[in-house]
Amino acid sequence: MKPTRPRTSFFLIVLLSVTLALTFAQTPPPKPPGQQKPATVEPDSNDSIKIDTELVLLDLRVFDKHLLPIRGLTKDDFTVLEDQVKQSIESVSTEEVPLSLGIAVDTSGSMRTRLQAIIEAAQNLIKEIRPVDEAFLVQFKTEVKLVQDFTSDHKKLDDALGEFYCSGGTALLDALIETSSHAQLKGKQRRKALIVISDGLEKNSSAKEKAVLEAIKQNEVQVFFVGFLDDPDSGSAAARWQSKKGKDTLQNLAEDSGGRAFFPKGIEEMPAIATQIAQDLRQQYVLSYYPSNEKRDGTFRRVTVVVKDRNGNKFTVNTRQGYYARPDRVHTIPPTK
């Protein structure tokens, strides 16, 4: 008679094998460094979709040495550094996207002689708004007044211009903080921008330029300026200095936000400037990447984008300086109408 193998040992071996199989089946493989986490999609009360994600999106424009836009670039033409660490680019696209715009008009006493010109300038900007876009309208003096909240209705925006009147001082920096926050909090579209019409003669703000730069970074808003400045070659030395200071302020704030500043010599230039601003906002590259630093610790991550041609010559890139890695970072997709 052949010896009988203990049945208890057999069942223990089977039980151990099944347990190990289930354990390995339920344990996910380790995630390679820098790989994105799955996005969490949640509908909000307005049927918009908010995607909780680590994905960083950069809106940018690329120019040659003559400031002509460069088209047809692919992700292989771009290099992205986050805090000096090279990142792996997910995608680069050139799709036109809808806009959330704020038009902020300086109606302080120093703009009194230009009131009709700035109203016409605002009208030219309103004409560029498409049905998929939305815009709000603000006038600012020592205080900021919202005269028309976000709408796509040209008539409502045009009618609101009738409320403009000039008086008082100029709190340009305070206005930039308030309007950039409004654009971020109330705007439905991902790409947000401010178009500011002013002479740049800051006098009455409680905020400093550093605080404005911080607000623009926090709110991720591009700023475009239309500066109606006095002739830099006329007037007293003090007036010329003030004009130069105003121009430098507008240029610095625009460049740091990824926007642009225009300085028309007359109102006849405004239709072309309005068209140019609309093109600058719509015809941008959208570059996306998942940061290798996955911590959402609220710190500011400085981003540098470099584009070179085949001969190694660098192009000029306009984009924001970076982003805050907030725990609640989301991208909002508005409902389809």
DSSP 72-88: ---GGGEEEEETTEE--
- 204 has a pLDDT exceeding 90: no
What is the average pLDDT across 153-158?
96
Instruction: Return the higher-pLDDT residue of 214 and 46.
Output: 214
Q: Span 49-59, mean pLDDT?
A: 72
Lowest mean pLDDT among 10-24, 51-65, 298-312, 320-334: 10-24
Rounded Cα distance, 317 and 42, in Å? 34
Distance CA 203, CA 205 (A): 6
CB 305 within 8 A of CB 322: no
Q: Tokens 């400045």, residue?
A: 229
Question: Which of 243, 282, 23 shows the shortest CA–CA distance to 128?
Answer: 282
- 244 close to 251: Cβ distance less than 8 angstroms: no
Is 305:164 a contact under the CB 8 Å cutoff? Answer: no
| pLDDT given for residue 53 in this prediction | 60
Determine the Cα angle at 262 with ends 258 and 265, to 5°: 175
CB atoms under 10 Å from CB of 45, counted, come to 5
pLDDT of amino acid 246? 79
Q: How confident is the model at residue 273 (pLDDT cuts 50, 70, 90)?
A: very high
Confidence check: pLDDT of 309 > 90: no
pLDDT interval class at 266 (50, 70, 90):
confident
pLDDT of residue 253 exceeding 80, the answer is yes
| 99-282, CATH topology level | Rossmann fold (3.40.50)
Q: What is the pLDDT, as a whole number, of residue 23?
A: 47
User: CA separation (Å) from 322 to 7, 56, 300?
Assistant: 67, 10, 7
pLDDT for 261: 93
* C-beta of residue 132 within 8 angstroms of C-beta of residue 144: no
Give 330's pLDDT tier (boundaries 50, 70, 90).
low
- What pLDDT digit, counting tens, does each position of 93-140 carry? 987 889 999 999 999 998 998 898 889 999 999 999 999 999 999 999
- In Å, how far are 199, 216, 254, 311, 325 from 301, measured between CA atoms? 33, 14, 20, 30, 7
pLDDT for 195 beyond 50: yes
| Predicted pLDDT at 31 | 42
Of the listed ranges 17-21, 83-87, 115-119, the least confidently predicted one is: 17-21
Please report the pLDDT score of residue 147 as a whole number.
97
Residue 238, pLDDT > 90, answer no
Report which of residues 123 and 267 the model is more confident about.
123
Q: Is 68 left (phi over 0), alpha (psi -120 to 50) or beta?
A: beta
- Length of the chain in terms of residues written: 337
pLDDT score at 231: 67
In eight-state DSSP terms, residue 205 is: -
- Say what the pLDDT of residue 30 is: 43
pLDDT band at residue 235 under the 50/70/90 scheme: low
For the cut 60, the answer to whether the pLDDT of residue 12 exceeds it is no
pLDDT at residue 20, rounded to an integer: 43
